[in-house]
Structure formats: structure tokens, C-alpha cells
Amino acid sequence: TVGAVALDQNGNLAAATSTGGLNSQLKGRLSDSPLIGAGTYANNPYCAVSCTGKGEVIMRGVLAHEVYALVKYAGEGLQTASEKAVTMHKALLDGDMGLVSLNQQQEVAFAFNTNMMKRGYSLGGAAPLVALWDNE
């Protein structure tokens, strides 16, 4: 799965996600990626979110919207909201998950429970920063 979130100079947020699904998935199986609120969500000015991981778990966790809800209704910061969304229902939603989020204040957050998430960001046109492993 690949995903992107962006903030433009007019203060608008957007999110997009695209995926090839699971290895050996059943024909006709849909992932979380195209489900708004699960794999993809954007709502000015709170956040834009794109998710990756085990689709069935992300759908049941409504992961992208969970980040938005934690920011808007619980008043959490973007990084805290992103981390909580990935970890808060661990007992019920056990599976690999990761996400990237961005808000109108140009804050970027990454959260994942795996040892690798291919990721990167750039602020204001500055040189991009990319990382792969959890300790980077």
C-alpha cells in the first residue's frame, strides 16, 4: 500500500491511498484503502490521514477517522492521536498497522506497530526526509 497526505498553500488538506491488496487474497476482497474513514480521511483543519497494514483490522478500527476524532473531540495532538489510534484497541484489533497524518499547522505524524514502515515527508519545500525502520 502507498499513501500520501498534503497541505497546500491555501491551507487545504488532502489524503490519498492506493494498494495492490494482500498476497493470495480472495478474488473480490476489498482493502481498507478505498474505505473513507478506514484507510483514508481528510477534514480541514484537523488532519489528513492515510493508512497501511492489515486491512481487515484497519476497517474494524476505522483507523483514519479515529485519528481525526481523537484530535477534534479529545483535543489530542496529532502525534499522540496517531499513536493512540494504532495502539488503543490492541486486544481487540490485533494486526500490523501504520499511518501518516498531517494537519493545517504543518505538523506531520507517523505511527506504526511494525518494525518497518517506508515513509517520508517534506515541509515547505525543504529537502525530504525518508526512513524505513522503526528506530530511524
Partner 1 sequence: MKKFAIAIHAGAETVKREDISKEQETQYREGLQEALAAGNAVLEKGGSALDAVVAAIEKMENNPLFNAGIGGNLNIHGETAFDAAIMDGKNLKSGSVGSIRYVKNPIKLARVVMEKCRHNFMVDTGAEEFALSQGLELKPPSHFVTEEKLKSWHQNYYDDYLKGHD
- Picking from 28, 31, 30, the residue whose alpha carbon sits closest to that of residue 3 is 31
Cell of 114: 511494525
Q: Does 116 bind partner 1 (CB under 8 A)?
A: yes
For residue 80, indicate whether it is catalytic: no
Binding mask 1-30 for partner 1 (x = CB under 8 A): xxxxxxxxxxxxxxxxxxxxxxxxxxxxxx
Nearer to partner 1, 1 or 70 (CB): 1
Report the distance separating Cα 119 and Cα 12, nearest Å.
22
Q: Considering only residues 29-88, where is the footprint of partner 1 by CB under 8 A? A: 29-36, 39-45, 48, 50, 52-55, 58
φ, ψ of residue 50 to 5 degrees: the values are -135, 135
Burial (CB count within 10 angstroms: exposed 0-12, middle 13-18, buried 19+), residue 64: buried
Residues 96-115 that bind partner 1 (CB under 8 A): 96-102, 104-106, 108, 110, 112-115
| Amino acid in the structure at residue 62 | V
Q: How far is the CB of 83 from partner 1 (least distance, A)?
A: 13
Distance of closest approach, residue 91 Cβ to partner 1, in angstroms: 18
Q: Counting every residue, how long is the chain?
A: 136
Q: From the CB of 55, what's the least distance to partner 1, in Å? A: 4
